[in-house]
Structure 1
Amino acid sequence: MVKLPVIIGMGGIGPAGRTSCHHAYRRMVIEKLSAADAETTTRALAQLMGKSDNETDSEQILRGTLVRKLENNLFDPDSIPLHKAFGANEGSSLLVNKKRVGSPIPAHWDVSEHDTTSMRIDLKDSQPLLVPITRRSTVNSAGQLPSGFDPSSLYQSRNHPRGLQMSLYGASDAISSLGFDWERVKQSVAPDQIAVYAGSGMAQLDYNGVGGMMQARLLGKRVTSKQCPLGFAEMPADFINAYVLGSVGATGTNMGACATFLYNLNQGMEDIRSGRRRIVLVGNSEAPLVPEVFEGYSTMGALASDDELRALDGLSPEEVLNHRRACRPFSGNCGFTLAESAQFFVICDDELALELGANIYGSVADIFVNADGVKKSISGPGLGNYITVAKAMAVVRSIVGDKGLKRSFVQAHGTGTPQNRITESHILNEAARVFGIQGLPVTAIKSYVGHSIAAAAGDQLAATLGTWQYGVIPGITTIDHLADDVYKDQLRFLMQHEEVNAEAMDVAFLNSKGFGGNNATGAILAPHVTRDILLKRHGKEAMTNYQKLNEQTQERQADYDAACIKGETRPIYRFGEGVLGGEDIEFNRKELRIPGYAKPVDLDLGNPYE
């Protein structure tokens, strides 16, 4: 019997706050929550932002979340450093510090000593010069982590790139909020039945990573020994293995631009369905809020600039722009809004989920990945997303039937670009028509948290799991109309939050369209549908035993949440703890044993090609 990949844990950090216990989701729909739930999430945000108990102005706290005007904690958008190219003519002279003259000396320089600290350079030919100046950013909106939240202050970050700091926080949040210790997992499965699939789509691009390595010499600085190795795209998985889980299981990342999270989730799903792994941590961390990335996407015409947003709203340069509404999926729009986020999920096979008494947030029905075919532009859309959406709907129909298929909703890619609103709405509209779905609900949470590139579908999944818990689909509240070129005959775009019965939606479709033709669509089954499948597979007695174990899990999750809100938790960071070497393992021809794990690695392997 094929294993069912069950979602049993989630954690992370993004513009809406902490992911675990649904707090990030709750921030998006906070006006629809009970007063108690809203107050708890506000307190959770206040803790992240470093607010004391007497600094809990809820309006101020909420303003420091989601998409908003760029703050200057990462860089100053009003004073971005760059170099302006100038030229010194033949016959010009320069005075330079002796230590800065360098070697070899160019042939067109006459160098002589000026004083004890300076050398004089007389130019026999023209000389290009780079003079430092600053510029203002043309894009000033982004999905930023909550104001005041600094992941590097929570552990000994040792100049780690921001994406890795966020990875440690996000993975720790996912593991710590499971409701049971990871040691229990280690006693339940073999070491090689664990996997971590995590990474970033753009690598670590701030100064502590690849960005600094590429800039250092041009800025007159030295490359450090950490910038190159810590800059790799798969380094989030490496950090989690080495410093959070101490895992020796499978590892790596699959990269597919904006569809990257679903690529990793797909690998975890396939591992569990096949039985190769029993539990997998899947996630992505992206920290792209650096000036060079803003400029790169702006040059492509992909980001919503201040001037373009003003033009959309008919505002003069003197009028105040509402940066909160920068991302406007399926409406009049001008570009996407860049964001940072780290999202992690724990999935395991159905048998292990019951054995652990884990919370069941839902399950992964299937994920489909397809390329676009021949393209005119590498960034332009193609055919692949038609295939992924159609196959996702087809597999859902086979699992829950036509009735269940019609009880579904879509987390659209919804970037807020003119091209996306046309192409994605056409794909969804055609698929809904073919499968007989009238009024298919569509939302797009990038309107709240922006576009976090590799982590984007992780943002979607967290919001989806929250919908099943609280019965509210977050609407696209940054728009007040649909653009005329949006296809909508079979679709119902939600422009306000929609309250639904928690069990009225059986399935959610997560859709991702990435640069280069990287398309992925995931079909996620609701927790009530997942429990029905488990009941049929394992029987009533097994489910009764599971419910008893799950009561303890929920109590411990509540304890963890309370500790987080009080500021009593820290990310897991096991630097140098329990390091093992070859002398610590025991193995023979049939098995290999590692200290700390109850079960061995099986070496009694058959011929896979017989």
Structure 2
Amino acid sequence: MRRVAITGLGAVTPLGLDVPSTWDAAVSGRSGVGWIEAFDASEYPVRIAAEVTGFDVGDLVPPKEARRMDRNVLLAVAAAQQAWDDAQLDSGVDRSRIGILVGSAIGGIATIAEQQQVLAERGRDRVSPFFIPSVLVDTASGQIAIQLGITGPNYAPVSACATGSTAIGEGAEAIRRGQADVVLAGGTEAPIIPLILAGFCAMRGLVAEEEDPTLASRPFDATRAGFVMGEGACILVLEELEAARARGATIYAEVLGYGASNDAHHLAQPEPEATGVAHMIRTALETAGVAPERVGYVNAHGTSTPLGDLAETRALKQVFGEHAYRLAVSSTKSVTGHCFGSAGALEATMCALALRDGVLPPTINYRNPDPECDLDYVPNEARRAEVDVALSNAMGLGGHNACVLLGRVD
């Protein structure tokens, strides 16, 4: 069985415009949540989000082309270029043996909303000819291929908020079965527009914060009241391990296992007993041949919703038993908000860096313990800990669940 290493990382997030700044902020517990600046949200019941600020696609895409791309695509192109550069793949690499699996939960929604307004106000003849190809969920993966000249297998997995994890898991499987030698895998999302904010307000899934936005996302805390919308992109370079070693690549971690399931319960609410989430985690452990007791850290889905955090805690107890109380479990959504399709990839990156650095990022805003959420959530401050195996969980609308199990490589 071919083994799969992570050899490159790229990210554009509410915490920073690259991986080092994002990781530094996460470890320091600096929140990326603030008042919405992208548009006037003063009339909305929720006025906060975790936005990417200061982003400029720069020289990566000519200005004329950039104007034809949705923001989610531009974020993905930037993150992919970072990951490619970080991996330092040789210029002579066979690009037909490189795959791209980059998905999104929503796709080019900002451009859809914009062109709908053009249609309503100016008529059908003024709708852009670039509209359709710019908003497809697979446009980001296609544009990355164009920018980097990659001709291997290319598609966009979509599993709502589990998309980033699905992309990594399926990308690793593509390498294991010999379909590719390298895969760029991850997710991207740019949902902070009036329409999406209105939709989530109508669902009553978001938390409203009237005084300090940085306190809004508080996973596993007894006072948690909903999630915070986020945006961003995160791409990982996956590579066959022995080939990576042979070329002297930096190896962040190994992708040991992958699990996926569906709750088959409700489109928006988790199954209360979390049997689907537990099944997903068990699948990852079993495919990796890893005993539950070897897992030392879990980067939880942990969105800060009352039902979701409780369900995930129950799943961890089902799978790990008494070892669940020895696990370190943190939710970096406390600082990033929920970045939807990119969340799973970003949180897998957090796991890879935790394995590399021996540092576990904290769950900030944890002040009021919940008797039913009674695990070690690495409250408020990062922790030094040498961990060999880490788990990244993701759960999405539609009952979609996906997780990746990562291991340290010496």
**Secondary structure in structure 2 of the residue aligned to 1:17:** coil
Distance apart, 1:144 and its partner CA: 1.0
- Matching of residue 471 in structure 1 with residue 358 in structure 2: yes
**In structure 1, the residue corresponding to 2:131 is in which secondary structure?**
coil
1 CA distance for matches of 2:180 and 2:80? 19
Question: Following the alignment from structure 2 to structure 1, what is the Cα–Cα distance between the partners of residues 27 and 169?
Answer: 29
Counterpart of 1:99? Answer: none
Kindly report which structure 2 residues correspond to 1:44-443, keeping only aligned pairs within 5 A, or say none: 66-71=32-37, 74-78=38-42, 136-146=43-53, 148-151=54-57, 155=61, 156=63, 157-181=66-90, 183-186=91-94, 191-206=95-110, 209-220=111-122, 222-243=126-147, 245-306=148-209, 321-331=211-221, 332-373=223-264, 375=265, 377-382=266-271, 383-395=275-287, 398-399=289-290, 401=291, 404-405=294-295, 408-433=296-321, 436-443=323-330
Gaps of 5+ in 2: none
- Per the alignment, residue 101 of structure 1 pairs with none
Query: How far apart, in 2, do the equivalents of 1:154 and 1:8 lie?
Result: 22
Give the equivalent residue in structure 1 for 2:407.
525
What is the deviation of 1:27? 1.6
- Cα gap change, 1:167 to 1:496, in 2 (>3 Å): same
Supply the AA of the counterpart residue of 1:139.
V
CA contact (8 A) 1:194 1:280 kept: yes
CA shift, 1:199, in A, is 2.3
1:213–1:228 Cα contact (<8 Å) kept: no
Deviation of the 1:3 alpha carbon: 0.5
The alignment's TM-score, normalised by the length of structure 1, stands at 0.63
Opposite residue 514 of structure 1, the aligned amino acid is G
Give the drift of 1:213: 2.9
Q: Structure 1: 5+ residue runs without aligned partners?
A: 32-61, 79-135, 311-320, 529-610
Q: Distance in 1 between matches of 2:316 and 2:215?
A: 24
Contact residue 360 and residue 527 of structure 1 kept, 8 A: yes
- 1: CA distance between counterparts of 2:327 and 2:36? 35
Q: Of residues 362, 365, 371 in structure 2, which corresponds to 1:484? A: 371
C-alpha deviation, 1:381, in angstroms: 1.3
- Residue type of the alignment partner of 1:171: A
In the TM superposition, what is the alpha-carbon distance from 1:437 to its structure 2 partner? 4.6
Q: Which has the larger radius of gyration?
A: 1
The residue type equivalent to 2:92 in the other structure is R
Shift of the alpha carbon at 1:149?
2.7
Give the C-alpha shift of residue 202 in structure 1. 0.1
Residue pairs, 1:501-540, within 5 angstroms: 501=385, 504-528=386-410
Superposed CA offset, 1:461-493 (max 9, x none)? 22222222332211112221222332x2xx312
Q: How far did residue 154 of structure 1 move? A: 6.2
Would you say the 8 A contact 2:11–2:346 is kept in 1? no
Distance (Å, rounded) in 1 between the aligned partners of 2:159 and 2:245: 33
1:139 positional shift: 1.1
* Contact persistence 2:119–2:127 (CA under 8 A): yes
Cα offset for 1:351? 2.0
The SS at the match of 2:162 is helix
1:551-577: CA deviations, max 9, x gaps? xxxxxxxxxxxxxxxxxxxxxxxxxxx
Tell me by how many angstroms 1:200 deviates.
1.3
Cα distance in structure 1, aligned partners of 2:358 and 2:34: 27
Residue 455 in 1 paired to residue 342 in 2?
A: yes
Secondary structure of residue in 1 paired with 2:87:
coil
Native 8 Å contact 1:67 1:143 kept in 2: yes
For the residue of structure 2 that corresponds to 1:465, the secondary structure is: helix
| Conserved? CA contact 1:472–1:497, under 8 Å | no
User: Aligned letter for 1:523?
Assistant: L
- Give the match's secondary structure for 1:493: coil
CA drift of 1:450 comes to 0.5
Decide whether the 8 Å contact of 2:17 with 2:55 is kept in 1: no
CA distance, structure 2, for counterparts of residue 498 and residue 449 of structure 1: 15
RMSD of Structure 2 on Structure 1 (CA): 2.0
Secondary structure of the equivalent of 1:485? coil
SS of the residue 1:370 aligns to: strand
Task: Give the letter for the 1:12 counterpart.
Answer: A
Distance 1:154 1:179 in 2: 17
Instruction: Please say if residues 69 and 324 of structure 1, whose CA atoms lie closer than 8 Å, have aligned partners that are also in contact.
Output: no
Distance 2:352 2:18 in 1: 11
Give 1:263 deviation, angstroms: 1.2
Contact 2:348 2:404 in 1 (8 A): no
Which amino acid is 2:379 matched to?
M
SS in 2 for 1:167: helix
**Equivalent position amino acid for 2:158 in 1:** M
Q: Partner of 2:109: helix, strand, or coil?
A: coil
Whether the aligned pair in 2 keeps the contact of 1:19 and 1:343 (CA below 8 Å) is no
For residue 23 of structure 1, what is the aligned residue in structure 2?
Answer: 21
Q: Which amino acid aligns with 2:246?
A: E
3-state SS of 1:342 partner? strand
For 1:234, give the aligned amino acid: D
In the TM superposition, what is the alpha-carbon distance from 1:402 to its structure 2 partner? 6.0
Q: Are the aligned partners of 1:212 and 1:227 in contact in 2 as well (CA < 8 Å)?
A: no
What's the CA shift for 1:456? Answer: 0.5
Q: Residues of 2 paired with 1:154 and 1:282: CA distance? A: 19
The alpha carbon displacement at 1:438 in A equals 3.6
CA distance in 2, matches of 1:402, 1:514: 24
Q: Percent identity?
A: 25
Q: Is the 8 A contact 1:205 1:211 kept in 2?
A: yes
Contact 1:11 1:18 in 2 (8 A): no
Paired amino acid for 1:192: S
Q: Is the 8 A contact 2:165 2:186 kept in 1?
A: no
The Cα of 1:12 is off from its aligned counterpart by 1.7
Amino acid at match of 1:219: E
Cα deviations by residue, 1:500-547 (Å, 9 ceiling, x for unpaired)? 24xx2011111111111101121111233xxxxxxxxxxxxxxxxxxx
The residue identity in structure 2 corresponding to 1:253 is A
1:496 is aligned with what amino acid? N
Rounded to whole Å, the distance in 2 between the matches of 1:154 and 1:346 is 19
